[in-house]
Every structure is written in C-alpha cells, then in structure tokens.
Amino acid sequence: MLGVLEYIRDTDAFFAHLRSSNRDVVLSYCATDLSSVDRASLGWITHFSFLDLAQLFDRHGFRIESTMPVDSLQILMRLTPVDQQTPMNPCSVAVISYNDVGNFGDRLGYHMINSLLPSEASVHHLTFQTLDRAHDSYDLVVLGIGNSIYQPLLTKDLIDVVSRGKAKVGIFGTQYRELISRPALDRLIDRLDTWFARYEDDVLMYGRGRTNVQHLGDWLINQFPMSTPTDEGQLQIGEEIWNELPLDRTIQFIQRYKNVLSSRLHPLLCALTSAETVAYTEQPAGGETSIISGKFRSMLIDIFGRNFPEKTFFPVDRGAVTRYKRRVHGNTAALGAQLETILRNVATAPPA
C-alpha cells in the first residue's frame, strides 16, 4: 500500500479487513508530524500523526516491525499481525510468605511471583505473622514464593486463610522434615489445587500417590544469569550481610568470586551459576537436636544428581547447572500460564 492510506475514508473498516487476511502489510504514509503541506489540496482524506498511526495499528492487531524513510515527507512501514490477548476480569490474589524476614531468597521470590501474575490481578501480600489481615475471600491464594515450609508454620490459621481462595496453589519446598507432622502437612496439601514442589525430594516424600503435585524446581535460579567470575579469592556467605544492597548488586557481588562457601541456600544457588568451586554448611534446627534443614542436599541432587559432603569444596559442573536452569525456566513459564488460566476460570466480572 504505497501512497494509499492518505485516501482511505473508513480506515478502521479497512484495517479490520486487512487483519482478517493475517498477512504482513507494507505501507507508506506522510504523517502530519513530518510536514505542514496542504493535505486537502492534494486530495488527502486522512490526517494521522505518528501517534494516531500507532494507535490505529494497535487497535487492529498489528505491530510495527520496521520503518525507513522514503524521502523528507514519507516513511515506509512494515506491519506484522500479532495475536491480541483477551482481557480477563479483575481478580484478587493473596500471596503468603515470610517476606518480612527480608533475606535474599524471599526478596527474590517476591519479585518472581509478581512477574508471573496477570496485569488484572490485585495482589495482597501476607506473611505468616500477618494472617489476621487476610480478606474474607480471594480468587486465588498462593502459598509460598519458593521458600520452605516447616512445622511451626503448619497452623490452623494458615489452613483457614488458604481455604479462603476459590483456587489455591503452593510454591514451596520443605525443610527440617523429621520435625514435620505428616498429618498437618497432608491437610495443607489436600487443600491445594496444585502444589508446585521445589525439589524432587518433596515430591517423593509428600506427593506420592497424589495428582495435585508437580515438580517445579527452584525457580529463583531464573534470577541468576550464567556468569564468569573474576576474583580469585574466596567468598564466605553467612548472615546475609548484603541485605541492605539492591538485589542486582548482591547477585553481581556473589558472581564475582571463583570460590564460594555459603551457609545460606539461595546465595549458594546464585554461586552455582558462576563459581568454579563451592561449599556449603548446613542449617541445624537448633536446641538439643542434630536435625538439619536437608534443603542443600535436595537442591544438589536436583541439579547434579548427587549430594556433596558439607564444608568441602567441590567443582561446579556448569553443564549440569545450565540444564537445570533450562528445565526450571520452562517449568516456570508453564506455571505462569497455569496461573493465568486459573484466574480466567475463577474471576467473575464486576457488577454492571
């Protein structure tokens, strides 16, 4: 369509017809932004600015793929048809986590869940300490942002809030498993439409025989690019000393080091995407018991197919990390699509 659009009277009907062909469109146009020529004297009927053109194309499902000038007055454009998403009804989502602690993994998980929810979702973030602030009902309740569930969190109040959702999903792993009351955890999982479990260990221990359990993987690895370290020294990570730093700076700092020892799970996961050697120290339950969290073992088996001794540096198999990262990335994308489907099914239109 070269020199044509200036003469089209009903441009909306015309572009609706073009869109039905589902083909690319190449057109030229002299936008009002480019000149102050007497358009009427030239017989031109349309008087579109660049903004007007962009809105016209968008309204009918076209994206501007490329442009180039023809001369001082005209520009050539290639339009590509794109699938227009059907808007969904406004919906309410409760997300329960312990993001009030402010550690590295919880801060990352907060952004992960927000990025996966559709734009129509109104999100109410709750913590295990603020369950009394929950609303009476939600379209969707999300329990967890990739963190761990353990015995003290399995309360009647938690079950009550989870039950307030028309739909309920869990995105979490488990830790200190020897201390978990199996009936209490079973009651929680039974309330969930789907539990997206962090580790295969979670699935094997608590999902056996269930149809509502899927292995997600540790989705926080999506936040860590594969990187090459530059610092020969050893980094020792303990009590989250970078909590005051922005998350991107913390990730960059960890990924500088070729050798990393961590007593924290997600800083170690971050280090696996860059370091040459890593080591970990387990988190004990405390008190008189010798029980440990068990989550380091579960993560290492998921990624490398084996565990490694505590406090002993081992070389990082980058190929294994890349394969795990690719697998979890695909699972996370599928999770986002499932959440949107769930909300489309349960969200109701507001009263007229």
- Whole-number pLDDT of residue 73: 86
- Whole-number pLDDT of residue 241: 59
CATH 3.40.50.2300 occupies which residues in the chain? 91-221+327-346
pLDDT digits (tens, 9 = 90+) for 116-137: 999 999 999 999 999 999 999 9
Quickly list DSSP for 135-202. Answer: -S-EEEEEE-SS-EE-GGG--HHHHHHHTTEEEEEEEEEE-SGGGS-HHHHHHHHHH-SEEEESSHHH
- Whole-number pLDDT of residue 347: 86
Phi, psi (deg, nearest 5) at residue 224? -115, 110
CATH code, 91-221+327-346:
3.40.50.2300
- Whole-number pLDDT of residue 101: 66
Helical (H) or strand (E) element with 76 = strand 75-81
- Whole-number pLDDT of residue 242: 59
- Whole-number pLDDT of residue 350: 66
Task: Please tell me the total number of residues recorded for the chain in this structure.
Answer: 352
Which residues in the chain come in under a pLDDT of 50? Answer: none
- Whole-number pLDDT of residue 35: 77
pLDDT digits (tens, 9 = 90+) for 200-227: 999 999 998 899 999 999 999 999 999 9
Please provide the average confidence, as pLDDT, over all residues in the chain: 93
CATH 3.40.50.150 occupies which residues in the chain? 5-81
Decide if 259 contacts 278 (C-beta within 8 A). yes
* Tokens encoding 292: 């440990």
- Whole-number pLDDT of residue 83: 79
Topology of domain 5-81 in CATH is Rossmann fold (3.40.50)
- Whole-number pLDDT of residue 240: 62
- Whole-number pLDDT of residue 289: 77
pTM metric for this prediction: 0.79
